[in-house]
Structure 1
Amino acid sequence: MTVTLVPAPVPVRPPRPARLRPVDVVRVAGSGLHSRPMRVFLSALGIAIGIAAMIGVVGISTSSQEELNRKLDALGTNLLTVGPGQSFGGGEAHLPDAAEDMVGRIGPVESVSAVGLTDAKVYRNDHVPTERSGGIGVYAARTGLPATVGAEVAEGRWLNAANARYPAVVLGSAAAQQLGVHDTGAEVQVWLGGRWFTVVGILASNELVPTMDSAALVGWPVAEELLGFDGYATTVYTRAVQGSVADVQSVLGATANPEDPSAVQVSRPSDAIAAKEATDETLAGLLLGLGAVALLVGGVGVANTMVISVLERRSEIGLRRSMGATKGQIRTQFLCESLLLSALGGLGGLLLGIGVTGGYASYQGWPAVVPAWAMAGGIAATLVIGGLAGFYPAVRAARLPPTEALASA
């Protein structure tokens, strides 16, 4: 008997589907976007508006903060003011005569100066009715005031030891404009306290001490002699060593008026500017939230575009599946399309936001600053939005049966 040995059949493995390289995935996804340019543009526009709003808000806020820091560096954050508050009985208090000298003895204090408010009024000429004083305050001023408060003379000169004893006045920028004074000299005079005072100087605007803009400043001796000034300082300005500002501020009240420290008001002018910036930051936060809403709306637009794309390209999906494309490859293709669409919108929004920030900062005279974290965050946000928006359409496309897709073609 002959025994024939039949070899066992060798199992045949199905061919593995071809792998798509990342470059091929991007190329296929890009061709899908290229076939619908107008729809892609409108969808990307929603993303771009959201990113531009967020980048613009952050950039403008940062530029404003940078301008504030630059301004405070120029003006100085080490200026402190001392003024009289309410007395224990509720009446008006005043600083002691020796307040300036006592404050000057504090170790970290660099300079001290003062002004004193008088009862005098100032007018352009002696024909102006007395009730039309315009709210310009007349102050007696120490000759060292500009060095302490950082004031600059725009026209003429500041008071000195010679003219501080004579009827000479220096006008703040707003006061000079209100009185119609644009020049200085012996022939330029204003009617002050019932007599003519010669305008010897006009100050530049001082943002750190805005009260000086609407003030008329005369010498301390002439104020006591001609204007009935009582000699009490109403504001003492103090420059402290930068690292010791808080320490000086804590002892100023007790030093200026040892008998009644509670009747002294101590303030730091730069805090008012910083408080204004904090208000602007609150508004910036609101605008940032609106930008996030716009970005979310843009993401919904991307999802809508991708869902419609799946419905319109059922035949393409069926053809690719019948030719061996796997569900994963179909899913990757549509997810890549969504990411590319969002990235286009994000890149456009980033450029638009930088342009808006630069233009607004240039208009305001600020340094244009767009933080790197904001740009990186904007791109990351677009990719996250694109991934979330394209996930469902990609899964839906991958689950589409080839026969059903080809039958619907």
Structure 2
Amino acid sequence: MNTAPSRTGSPAPLPASGRLSPGDVIRVGLVGVRGRPLRACLSALGIAIGIAAMVAILGITAGSQAQIEAQIANVGTNLLTATTGNDLFGTKSELPTESATMVSRIAPVRQVSAVGTVSNATVHRNDKTDQRDTAGIAVQGTRLDLPATIGATIAKGTWLNAATEQYPAVVLGSVAADRLGVHSPGTPVYLGGQWFTVAGILSPVTLAPEIDRSALIGWDAAAKIGFDGHPTTIYVRSADEAVNDVHDVLAQTVNPQHPDQVNISRPSDALTTALAVKNTFKLMFLGLGAIALLVGGIGVANTMVISVLERRAEIGLRRAIGAGRGQIKLQFLTESVALSALGGISGVVIGLAVSVGWAVNQNWAVTIPTQAVLAGVGAAVTIGALAGLYPATRAARTSPAEALASS
């Protein structure tokens, strides 16, 4: 260490010009990033792609899950359906005409309704088209309490009432209305060989998508065009705590003589399954994002190795004027972490923009995955530190004489 005489005559230490404060070391490390902007951007790109993919996937999945959970909470999980099955010969069986009444006697049952398919009846906009073409629309006789039981709402017009259920009035499901090109109540349609007036159009029914593809007419009106009175689907709402108990006795109640010919289902299970499937896909796509992030980390490591080789003269000069190995190591670690952090922040911004844009496009509530944002930035910094560890250690171990001699 250099010394100089003090006022007392004893030597005093001179400051080591190569020894920088930690803040100065960080600023020196950032010089490497600013001095090679194109290389820095390309190195950060891999990190940005990986982080953007992970944040976007988590954001979109969170929005989708919130949407499904809201649907489940809105429609409930206490709806059961009983539909006709097949007999031993594969022939479609029939439910007894009084099956809905029998189901209503089960103590925990709160609401019961039914629909029955009108065989050989189709619906069209006019009487000039091929009446054998169903266009995927089923004509069904219905009970008046159907909307309350399945949670259906009227988008336009009105539902059937005690008067209109006996006359040629029809309510169309959302899909049926689109296929027929009917957009407002009062439109006449040709149904079962006679003209019916559209009384209303339903909004999409989450738990009963078959209703979306149906033309619904009153039970009595259906009997006038050939309906035999046998329901094909019975909808049952029970007390929440007794859903499983009702499920266990529903088939025997609907068709006591042939319970094996009745299919029982819980429509909300489809939403729960969709939620599980989305979680599975989320894990798969997160794995792909992690691979992209790993590739980006390798790119940063490669950039840092090249940077150390290019700056050997700088390293040797700094070591010669007193910079320690720790400062050299910190300088290059800072540059590596800065590169990764740049990519991480860019990736988070891109990922959030994608997830928000998707949510708006799908009319979902915008969900910001806060944990994903923090994890994305943290992962980028960690990758940067790991990627820069070897190059920084190599730079710190370079002797001043060797570095200056090779420059």
- What residue in structure 2 maps to residue 206 of structure 1? 205
Question: Is the contact made by 1:58 and 1:370 (CA closer than 8 Å) also made in structure 2?
Answer: no
Any idea what SS the aligned residue of 2:264 has?
A: strand
- What residue in structure 1 maps to residue 3 of structure 2? none
- What residue in structure 2 maps to residue 230 of structure 1? 228
Confirm or deny that 1:378 pairs with 2:376. Answer: yes
Confirm or deny that 1:85 pairs with 2:89. Answer: no
Confirm or deny that 1:308 pairs with 2:303. Answer: no
Within 5 A, what are the aligned runs for 1:63-102?
Answer: 63-102=63-102
Question: Is the contact made by 1:109 and 1:239 (CA closer than 8 Å) also made in structure 2?
Answer: yes
- Cα root mean square deviation, aligned: 2.4
Q: Give the superposition deviation at 1:274.
A: 3.4
Confirm or deny that 1:323 pairs with 2:309. Answer: no
Amino acid at match of 1:35: G
Q: TM-score of the superposition, structure 1-length normalised?
A: 0.89
Within 5 A, what are the aligned runs for 1:38-53?
Answer: 38-53=38-53
Any idea what SS the aligned residue of 2:162 has?
A: coil
1:197 and 1:285, CA in 2 relative to 1: closer, same or farther beyond 3 A?
A: same
Question: Is the contact made by 1:315 and 1:406 (CA closer than 8 Å) also made in structure 2?
Answer: yes
CA–CA distance in structure 1, aligned partners of residues 197 and 354 of structure 2: 49
Gaps of at least 5 residues in structure 1 are 1-13
Confirm or deny that 1:167 pairs with 2:168. Answer: yes
Any idea what SS the aligned residue of 1:231 has?
A: coil
CA–CA distance in structure 2, aligned partners of residues 254 and 20 of structure 1: 85
Confirm or deny that 1:190 pairs with 2:214. Answer: no
Identity of matched residues, %: 53
Structure 1 segments, 4+ long, off by >4 Å, are 14-21
Name the stretch that deviates more: 387-396 or 14-23: 14-23
Q: Give the superposition deviation at 1:16.
A: 11
- What residue in structure 2 maps to residue 150 of structure 1? 151
Within 5 A, what are the aligned runs for 1:257-272?
Answer: 257-272=255-270
CA–CA distance in structure 1, aligned partners of residues 35 and 76 of structure 2: 60
Q: Give the superposition deviation at 1:220.
A: 0.8
Amino acid at match of 1:114: A
Amino acid at match of 2:95: L
CA displacement, residues 334-381 of structure 1 (integer Å, 9 cap, x when unaligned): 122211221121122112211211111112111222333322321222
Name the stretch that deviates more: 286-295 or 355-364: 286-295
Question: Is the contact made by 1:148 and 1:237 (CA closer than 8 Å) also made in structure 2?
Answer: yes
1:290 and 1:165, CA in 2 relative to 1: closer, same or farther beyond 3 A?
A: same
CA–CA distance in structure 2, aligned partners of residues 397 and 151 of structure 1: 70
Q: Give the superposition deviation at 1:78.
A: 2.4
Amino acid at match of 1:204: S
Q: Give the superposition deviation at 1:265.
A: 0.7
Gaps of at least 5 residues in structure 2 are 1-12
CA–CA distance in structure 1, aligned partners of residues 378 and 248 of structure 2: 47
Amino acid at match of 2:198: V
Any idea what SS the aligned residue of 1:236 has?
A: strand
Amino acid at match of 2:80: L
* Matching residue within 276, 281, 291 for 1:293: 291
1:102 and 1:22, CA in 2 relative to 1: closer, same or farther beyond 3 A?
A: farther
CA–CA distance in structure 2, aligned partners of residues 242 and 81 of structure 1: 15
CA–CA distance in structure 2, aligned partners of residues 356 and 182 of structure 1: 34
CA–CA distance in structure 1, aligned partners of residues 179 and 335 of structure 2: 64
Question: Is the contact made by 1:43 and 1:298 (CA closer than 8 Å) also made in structure 2?
Answer: yes
